[in-house]
Structure 1
Amino acid sequence: MAPLDPEHPQAGSGDRRSTPARDPDPREAAREAAAAARVLTRQLGRLALGAARGAGRRARQAGQGSAPLFRGFAERLRRPSPDPAPATRAPGSDLVPPRRQSGWGGRLRSRPIMALALAVVALPPILLAGLVISSFLTLPPLGGAAVDPGQRALTVEADDGRVFATRGAFRGQPLTAADLPPHLAQAIIAIEDRRFYSHWGVDLRGLLRAAWRNAVGGGVREGGSTITQQYVRLTSLTQEKTLRRKIQEALLALRVESEMSKDAILLGYLNTAYFGAGAYGVDAAARRYFGKGAKALTLPEAAMLAGLVRAPSQLAPTRNFGGAKERADVVLQTMVETGAITPDAADKARAQTITLRTPPETPPGTNYFLDMVAGDAKRLSDASGDLTVRTTLNLDLQSLAEGVVARRLDAEGAKKKAGQAALVALSKDGAILAMVGGRDYEDSQFNRATQAKRQAGSLFKLFVYLSAYEKGYTPESVLVDRPIQIGDWEPQNANNRFRGAVPLRTAFALSINTIAAQIADEVGVPAVIETARRLGVQSELPNVPSLALGSAEITLLEMTRAYAGVLADRIPVETFGIHAIRGGVPAPLYVHADPKSSAVLPGDSRTMMLDSLQAVVESGTGKAARVANIPVGGKTGTTQDYRDAWFVGLTPDLVVGVWVGNDDNSAMNRVSGGDLPATIFRDFVQRASVQMAKGRAKRPSAARAEPAPAKEPAVTAGPELRGVPEVIDTGTLAFRGRVVRLLGVEGEGGTLARQLARYLRRREVACAQGPEAQGLRCRIDGDDLASLILAAGGARASGDAPPDLLAAEEQARSERAGLWRRER
């Protein structure tokens, strides 16, 4: 087809005057459109080729002034190809005249492998240059990505003032040049950036050294970022690991070095770096770990903090004290190599004992209580900044509760198909002394004591009988246990038998369903609901006859609170978990106050209700809850198909509620309220009453870095075996070839033994001389070594272990520490 030309009419045009009129053919129109498109494409190609030749001529003219060294080579590249002879073509031909290819372009076209090789070599530099330019054009502003502090920090204290948990992000005070200890600055520079004062933001020598060591080591063993680069990453960039971010980090580091002094950069880095355990900035870390400001840090403490910034989450001393101590030793050695300190100063620093002012780690089981307290603190105080919360939690009772629940479920849970349990212990005034929200917080954070609503079963009969006693019934009033029907509802007894005439005291003790249904029908279900409301039940209570047998869904805390009202003779009892909240000002931000006024139960009805509750334990369904020498009352509850089992019991000082069941509401293997729940109550109250009678048991301070064991009797005086031992296993040591077995400890090998070896490294242990058949008692820094090992979960107590060591093992089990974490 000929090009678009006035002398060459388009195909099919013809002489319209001599062609008869006919309808247009769509196919012919399509062919004409395609032909026109091809012609237009060729014309555009010719125009582009002409433009390229013009650009080449301008380039040759501009290159006349090139340096002589490159002129010959440039002229060869720019030499135009000779114009080929015009090709003869017939009129109307649409063929483009062929041109002979010459020069480098022709050579590359004739050698595609060479062209590909040149492209492979040239492409990476071109892409890198483009990435650098792009990174420069998209640089963020300095300080545009300040660390998000997250939720405000909470330091949580038990009822006796012991700190046992922290939450949130600690910010501390911004450090000034006057507050910066010289050894802290030297420690950070020695371990993070030795050439900090000599480079200009990016240390090429450090980058090459890190690259070589990582290549030789077969992995990332050393970073090449300077303190300046780390500072701009913390304050201006994200933490994504990309080449673009590294380029921007280097560019911003150069800019910061030109605008800020070295000391200002170092202070900025120390005020923003993360040191683990929620501490941002070195002052926050010093207060978090050592209970002091950064200005008061000693050399070994400064070395420990300097060692944390490389891996703060892994090395935080509250979680991994041994690892943090080893890293601090590395920092001290690096300070010696850089001349910051002498070898003697480093040795003295290593020998000093580092004491933490916070517990090694939040006990796992307390997290259910902490979740509740954190929400209450937010509601009770809206002040900004870090807060200290004094709670009602009794750590001894809490540890006991966790151990009792775990031990019972471990022993009987599988056989009885009971997967979960919850426990709440209240004082008479409503203070929450202990709370177990489930079997394992790490597996499930759902709090079954405060969030789970389950049918209460016969536990609800408290409100039925209390309503009856207020209406004139007495425990001696007699009703007939017989088949009854209330509307369409026909309640049945658990054993499907009827006892005939029964006093109410006996009916309550044996939990007879037909009697409770008759009472509710007599006094009216609305009256029962009103009694439950007065005692503090807030859940929905349907006005149906079956409510008398606990068809409503209620939380364990609600039911325990209601029973506490009967014991305290004050309704409703307001449960609470916080005594006081303090902030940065001397005056407390919140102090719990007792209610100014509250209702009371009628004297006679309360006395009769307490008598009926005692009958349950003495001769009824709650016999398993009996505790020697302690008056106990309570009530069992069991729902249909054994889906829920409850027991709430009262002693003169405590109200304890227990629930056992499964999260999926599946049936248990005939577990009633008088079975596992009553047994858990008894196990808890037996030891809790002893502890409360003696006052709070004095345990070693939770501020120590080492695990806190139970109090130990002193080692028998006499000759001692002293030295730095070799660890064979966690129950066996070797002193210069003499093997010593620790009394009451069944040693573990493997990882636990290696951890003990790191803990004892270069530390002296003293063992009392005596008969070695049963083992020796050894001490380290004044503490009994066997207790430390058992309390940390480093071993099991043997059959000959004395009571203090058994208590240490129980503490570890309740806290899921060490080997108990693996075996839960």
Structure 2
Amino acid sequence: MVAEPMTTQPGRDWLDLASPPPQPPGNPEAPAPSRLSAGSRRLSERLERVGSGAARAGSAAFGHLQPVMAAAAGPLRRAAPVWQEAAERVGAHPLAARAAAAARRAGALPWGRALLLAGLGVAGLATVFLVWCAATLPPLAGPQRPARTVTVQAEDGTPLAQRGSPRGRALPLEAVSPAMRQAFLAAQDPWFEDDYRLDASGIAAVINHAFRDTISDGPRSGSPRLTQRLVRRDLIGAAPGEARSLADRVREAMLVLWLSAREDRPRILARALDLARFGPDLTGIDAAARTVFGKEASSLGPAEAAYLAGLTLAPGLQPDRDVTAVRALGRDVLDDMMMMGRLTGAQRTEAGRALDGLSPVGATPVTRSGVPDLVLAEAAGRLGPEPPREAVVRTTLDREVQAMAEKAVERRLDAAGRGGTRAGLLVLGPDGGVQAVVAGGAPLTETPDTRRAALASLRHLGRDGRPVYDRLVAGPMPAAERRGALLSLLADLARPTGDTEDPGDRDGLFVGSVGDLLVGTYLSGGSAENGAGDAPEALFQDLAAQIAKARPAPQVAEAREAARETASTARGAARPAWQNPGERPAAAPSLRGVPRVIDTGRLRLEGQAVRLAGVEGQGGTLAREFRQYLRRREVTCQPAGGADLYRCRAGDQDLSEVVLFNGAGRAAPGAPPELQAAEASAKARKAGMWQ
């Protein structure tokens, strides 16, 4: 049956699909009506079956989704009035009306619509970019670092040093000692506890700091500065000075704002301690306390806390290698703790003495020489790009000769009185490999000579239980080349370790052969009164006697040719780099530079403690304000009679008078009249401590 066409509107008809289309008269090529009608019916039946199946599936899906939609509709219905009210307020705001009028005027211009569409497109792209940055934020728990261990061994398999990334626990703030918390804040952000508001200006400051390449050390930055360092270094993983992409800067601002708004300061501090780096492969306060000092984080004292906090200032330093450099950073941390009012003067002095004698677990003369790390650097290429779970590196170092060398150096230091005396020793084998080393100065740096010695010292390398590299037979190094390499390494080992030490204050060195071993010794800081003039040769003879006693005589007496190069007996231009500095001036020199505030009465300038004449200093808030006053200002200090007593000036202002006038300290007994007058003025005005 053919249905009649139903007219819905003039000029437009809906036809039944089951009826054949009318054939124009006189078209002999048109298909038969019966064949078209059967095909149309089959198509109609298939469409009906598909439609009924889709209807049943949609009904079942709607039945499943109906409870979820009903549950979600409730909050949306309740929030609808709020959104409607907000939209009405925004629409009624004068700025919205002005924006709409501006858009209409722009649309009326010849290119207005195009510019408006382009602006909307840019805004859309910016929104998509922000959404993408938010979707790719790094996890707040920090990057997952797999545990790995690399052990450096002596020739007989005795462990010398261990490197790797041990896993630590995430500790609550209460599980960390108060001294460690204060030391960490003193190193990273002494103004962490200052007031800070996350208002419009605070948000703008966070965004501005995220787009800067450096993090300011200035005062009154509040919580976001520590949070910014946490996000940039530990969550995003941007190294200092490394180029950062726009996406990383945006992610940094997002994370800083998120943490500042959602977490309180104790939680931010705990997270920063758990993610801080205390060395190249040491992350987290729990792993650092166990690895460096073999104790829990809750039992760390001020000296140990200052040592670990110093490591966070220079994460590239190794705890058991760069001991002297880390101690210097720890002393700065103790000064900042005193400035914050967390330590008194007596406590600072006691913690400083403890820090000077502090040594991490596993720190030995071998680790402090830097030889294990140089060998590891040479072995890194053979270990492959992916870090191994366990690796073993065996070196040419002879434990027997090493023990003899350490005893000989200790005896020589005892004979010299140890008063500022440093002694070192290096023994090279026939192939140029290091067989014994005692570092009395700085660790070896990476130079062509040290890399060659590290490669010669590499004997065996194993990765995850299978051998990777073996160097069982090595040819002898030419005598002249080995001698030149030893002299270069000795000069590197004898580098001064402190800023105030005179590089020319060295007594000499001695190079000689003991059998097939080439031995070099040096000593610095001694005097002729205690026999230090021939100390390098005496140190060599001591070691040679021990080796002769422990080994067969023919092995030692093959070649007894000793080449003396003693700087203490050098004259003129023979070895000018090793000459004694001569007489020192009796008067204390004047100092000049940008100081570091310890308290309101003491500064550290050019590596030297300076006490302001006529002032009894104060710590805490007053010291922090004094540090802000002196920030990046150059100071000139003239000796004032005592060993560390100075009158210092910043520009035209006498700092002693400035401190007393602002009530930041007390006038010392016997202070000059102008300083007493400044203190009296502060008392009358109730300034500073006289409030």
TM-score class, shorter: 0.3 to 0.5
Structure number with greater Rg is 1
TM-score, normalization: structure 1?
0.35
What is the TM-score when the length of structure 2 is the normalising length? 0.41
